[in-house]
Amino acid sequence: MTDPGSITVKTMWLDSTVIMNCVGDLDITTAAVLERQIDEVLNRGPDAIVVDLTELDFLAARGMNVLIRANGRLSDRVKFLVVADGPKTRRPMTLIGVDSQVPLHSTRDTALAAVRRDPLASQI
């Protein structure tokens, strides 16, 4: 468990796909941590980035903005997917409309399956 107001981002490579597992709070005080780690990962040239938010305790608008901006600045060859499920992550992202700007998946497995197929394939 992380301290309130903190985030841990664990990065794991699976072939040319990066899985970034976020634990804690993603808000105005911690968003820069995720943003920096996404930048570091991009410098290593992945084919896909999967950001897993299922272990977050809190997700604020500033955290969602980091995801939207990251997705918007990626080249066409880098897929960007987010795993979000439940009232702490998926619900606020859907209510605000993030799901129309960033591909959301309910599980890491469905996100990884989408990496292997067409990035515009249906999402769960």
* 21-45 per-position pLDDT tens digit: 999 999 999 999 999 999 999 999 9
* Whether residue 11 has pLDDT greater than 70: yes
pTM of whole model > 0.75? yes
pLDDT at 95: 96
Burial readout 5-30 (b: 16 or more C-beta within 10 A, e: otherwise): eebebeeeeeeebbbbbbbbbbbeeb
C-alpha to C-alpha distance for 60 and 1, rounded to whole angstroms: 19
* 58-102 per-position pLDDT tens digit: 999 999 999 999 999 886 789 999 999 999 999 999 999 999 999
